Structure 1
Amino acid sequence: MASSKILSRKMIKLLSPTPSSLRQHKLSFMDCINLPQYSPAAFLYPKPQNHTKTQISQILENSLSKVLSSYYPFAGRIKDNNTYVDCDNTGVEYLNVKIDCSMSEILNNPSIDVADIVFQKDLPWCSSLNRSPLVVQLSHFDCGGIALGVCLSHKIVDGYCVAKFISDWATTARHVDFKPSTNFNASTFFPLMEGAPNIMSINTSPQSQRYVSRTYNFSSSNLERLKKSITGVQNPTRVEVATSLIHKCGAIASMKNLGSFKPSLISQVINLRPLIPLDTIGNATCIYSTIAMTENEIELSNYVAQIQKVKQQVRNELKNLDTDQIVPYTLGKMKGIVDMMEKDIFDIYLSTSVFNFGLYSKTNFGWGKPIKVPHIKYPMKKNIILFDDPSEEGIDAQITLTEDEMSIFQEDKELLEFASPIVQSTK
């Protein structure tokens, strides 16, 4: 394992301190039902040709200070009652770290978890209470390559906001006059309510089995072939067909492992923007589910059709709601899924997509796009996360299953016809 040395540790303050009128940022209903865990993102860049190590860190520090004036709750503290952020200008944790190996040694070794290298030890997915909601680590490899590790609290942002913040930070680094558009007013759309179930806690309950993660790439051409294989469905999306194939192969692996078919449920999320403004910062998603009760229903065309139907139904229902009806509607959807989970009838999968968020094209801080946005293993049961691949035309899918199921899943011929196991490489 590569060792690291902290070169410096500091708090990055806001360039323009938060006014007293904004001192208390109220969390919304959507924020409060999420665990206060850090959601990690990492960006690996080849050796910058026109910047020294000192210049790189100075650019990041200065632009972070500036962008935080628009993202001021990130420099505050989430209080123990989880209902607000004290925007006290404490600042953001920022580390400069030296890694005693080349970047290629990390990327070309599938046994090494990148999270162990480019973040503070044990930081990803741990609690963000009583510390900076945002933690940044700049890592310098022996080869001159750099990694930017960013951990943001899921208590105050969703995946859309993580991507928007990093994009705005990168744009701020390149353009002196840029000012991000942000509104920390999600609580006006999603006021607090009593009795909300915590869906995340169910899937992070103590595990009796060992779970493992694997990542597969669906190239743009393979996604097009997969879409053409779907019959009776109009214009299936890349996310729909990739999710359906992964689910089918996962259900088959589960059936072979158990000896019989178990009904299967996938919960997925819909971004509530632009139902609310695109610059709304906070958690703003609605959960919906699709179910396969029989083997026939996991067949690709059948399942893609069901995903489309359920997703469109939820979108139509949301579109016809008044703003004050969104929270009760979302709460009802969540309770329905939680009730089904608690009955232990279904094989449960959680699926989310950060595909098409511009994690490569929008994260140029002045020294080019990252060569890799590595996927940090998520400690959840039966989990599917879809990302952009470096081309931003294909999909990288990280799948977490039980160890026994994964041994079957990774040999599935239909999966391997359209998806390739990822072997990390800088070339």
Structure 2
Amino acid sequence: MEIKSEIVSRQTIKPSNPTPPHLKTFKLSLLDQLTPGVHGNMTFFYPSNNTIDSIAEDFSDKSKLLQESISKTLSLFYPLGGRFKDAATIDCNDEGTFFVESKVNIQLSEFLNRPDFNLMDHFLPTTDHKTTELSNGAMFLVRITSFTCGGVAVSLSLTHKLADMSALLALLQSWSSICHGLSYPVTPDLMGEKFLAPNDQLSAMSSSVNIDAEKFVMRRFVFGESKIAELKAKVDQEFREVMQSHPSRVEVVLALIWKCAVANKKQKTGSVGPTALFQAVNLRTRMSPPLPDTAFGNFIWPFMVLAKEEKDLELHELVIQMRKSFNEFNNTTANMFRGEGAPLAVMGALKERGEFFRNNREMTVYKCSSWCRFPLYDTDFGWGKPLWLVSINKMVSNTIALADTRSGDGIEALLTLDEEEMALFEQNEELLKYATLNPSINA
């Protein structure tokens, strides 16, 4: 499919109310400081509910509504309207966010029939060179794109330094409720240094494990409800014997993807060395006392699951190890972020992880984030819920992102792998028994 896109307008949107003088400087938490300085993105696709005659007018109304509501939302999430002063400080100077209007020459149903990730640049605000230049270090960028049928894509790009997935959800809930005219939208708990003071000795460093590939590709695999039930049944007996409970949807899907990815690595290189899976955990509810869901910033930390030998890669073994590692994380690690000793404990854990990788250079590492159970499909700016939503990873290979399907009972896996390994992965028979490669959204 070929797409032609055209940028209609670009502009800065400032907060509706200026940030008070006593809030002009915002210090990041240590966890924010350790987060990579990249922008995450998410794009929502909405169908048209208008006649052809009113498409241009309708698009103009939608764009205006988004612009006005962003201005009000920025007053609540005021650091997002500022600019970085240094690695741990934001100058909340109300320079604002950046907003782009564009249009494409195809119908939404054409794109959603077989979504092509190579064409996603037409919707993202950060892939246009001029926009990046003009946005002047904006931490929050939005692009609305109109399709010829009147459907729209709303795409946002947000600095990871200030927001994990829960924080993004709080922002979306607040923004969409302002679009609906609610007087009391969700307000963020902007904790920053009050949660965990930043380390002045650190420059803009990252705690992430970067697995860069020469050339990597992204693919989408969908696991339906019945196939997930089959996967669960396959490992349930062994899992119950050891853990006295049942495996989760995410555990079985993730275990299968990991197992198949390692099998392809072996096919490519001829051997299987040790492998590790890092899975991000939301700390808010797992600390004592817990933090509110609206705590804005990065409150995630990964736990590691190891598979040293080929026998560890049996599906039931992987699922059992995942649960054991997760339980251990909840019982011991989650609370190291609280109290006076927290900064030292975090830096110690980071150092330990660094040493682990130095001592295990041959290890194949995968990283996973799960957004399952996040009500992202409830994001309604005033014209209904989205048909589909997606986040594009252009940074790092060997990553797995899991999200609910629109119906809520299936799982959509977005996977990035080395190009050669992905070619094998797409043909993996064990995987294709349970997953469908990039099915139509229109179905």
Work out whether the TM-score is over 0.5: yes
Instruction: State yes or no: 1:136 paired with 2:142.
Output: yes
In 2: Cα distance, 1:127 partner to 1:115 partner = 20
What is the deviation of 1:250?
A: 0.7
Contact 2:3-2:119 at 8 Å conserved across structures: no
1:327–1:122 distance in 2 versus 1, CA, 3 Å: same
Contact 1:288-1:334 at 8 Å conserved across structures: no
Structure 2 match to 1:261: 272
Contact 1:31-1:283 at 8 Å conserved across structures: yes
What is the deviation of 1:171?
A: 1.7
In 2: Cα distance, 1:111 partner to 1:29 partner = 37
Structure 1, 347-356 or 191-200: larger mean CA deviation: 191-200
Instruction: Please report the RMSD computed on the Cα atoms of aligned residues, expressed in angstroms.
Output: 2.4
Contact 1:189-1:323 at 8 Å conserved across structures: no
Contact 1:36-1:127 at 8 Å conserved across structures: no
Instruction: State yes or no: 1:357 paired with 2:368.
Output: no
Structure 2 match to 1:286: 301
Instruction: State yes or no: 1:348 paired with 2:353.
Output: no
Q: Give the alignment's TM-score, normalised by structure 1.
A: 0.92
1:153–1:358 distance in 2 versus 1, CA, 3 Å: same
Contact 2:80-2:140 at 8 Å conserved across structures: yes
Question: Alignment partner for residue 151 of structure 2, among 137, 145, 153?
Answer: 145
Contact 1:358-1:392 at 8 Å conserved across structures: no
Q: Which runs of 5+ in 2 are unaligned?
A: 52-56, 240-244
Instruction: State yes or no: 1:416 paired with 2:422.
Output: no
Instruction: State yes or no: 1:115 paired with 2:120.
Output: yes
Alignment of 1:326-405 (within 5 A): 326-342=342-358, 343-360=360-377, 362-405=378-421
Q: Give the alignment's TM-score, normalised by structure 2.
A: 0.89
Whose helix fraction is larger, Structure 1's or Structure 2's? 2
What is the deviation of 1:134?
A: 0.2
In 2: Cα distance, 1:394 partner to 1:242 partner = 10
Alignment deviations for residues 211-230 of structure 1 (CA, whole Å, 9 cap, x no partner) = 22211011122212211211
What is the deviation of 1:156?
A: 1.2
1:129–1:49 distance in 2 versus 1, CA, 3 Å: closer
Structure 2 match to 1:229: 234
Contact 2:283-2:334 at 8 Å conserved across structures: no
Structure 2 match to 1:89: 94
In 1: Cα distance, 2:363 partner to 2:438 partner = 30
Contact 1:245-1:300 at 8 Å conserved across structures: yes
Q: Which runs of 5+ in 1 are unaligned?
A: none
What is the deviation of 1:161?
A: 1.0
In 2: Cα distance, 1:218 partner to 1:140 partner = 30
In 2: Cα distance, 1:237 partner to 1:90 partner = 44
What is the deviation of 1:404?
A: 2.1
Structure 1, 242-251 or 177-186: larger mean CA deviation: 177-186
Matched position secondary structure for 1:255:
helix
Alignment deviations for residues 260-300 of structure 1 (CA, whole Å, 9 cap, x no partner) = 21110111111110233322111111122111001111111
Question: Alignment partner for residue 194 of structure 2, among 167, 177, 188?
Answer: 188
Matched position secondary structure for 1:398:
strand
In 2: Cα distance, 1:24 partner to 1:163 partner = 24
In 1: Cα distance, 2:357 partner to 2:202 partner = 17
In 2: Cα distance, 1:103 partner to 1:327 partner = 48
Structure 1 match to 2:206: 198
Contact 1:287-1:333 at 8 Å conserved across structures: no
Amino acid at match of 1:117: H
Identity across matched positions, percent:
28
In 2: Cα distance, 1:408 partner to 1:202 partner = 23
Structure 1 match to 2:73: 67
Contact 1:37-1:128 at 8 Å conserved across structures: no
Alignment deviations for residues 344-371 of structure 1 (CA, whole Å, 9 cap, x no partner) = 13111111112221111x2011111100
Structure 2 match to 1:170: 176
1:410–1:112 distance in 2 versus 1, CA, 3 Å: closer
Structure 1 match to 2:54: none
Alignment deviations for residues 49-84 of structure 1 (CA, whole Å, 9 cap, x no partner) = 4982222112211211111111111111122x2211
In 2: Cα distance, 1:246 partner to 1:10 partner = 42
Alignment deviations for residues 92-149 of structure 1 (CA, whole Å, 9 cap, x no partner) = 101111222222333335545342111235269x999951100001111111000101
Amino acid at match of 1:352: S
Contact 1:189-1:324 at 8 Å conserved across structures: no
What is the deviation of 1:195?
A: 6.1
Matched position secondary structure for 2:351:
helix
Structure 1 match to 2:328: 313
Matched position secondary structure for 1:52:
helix
In 2: Cα distance, 1:67 partner to 1:393 partner = 31
Structure 1, 384-393 or 322-331: larger mean CA deviation: 322-331
Matched position secondary structure for 1:396:
strand
Contact 2:164-2:297 at 8 Å conserved across structures: yes
What is the deviation of 1:177?
A: 0.8
In 2: Cα distance, 1:328 partner to 1:158 partner = 23
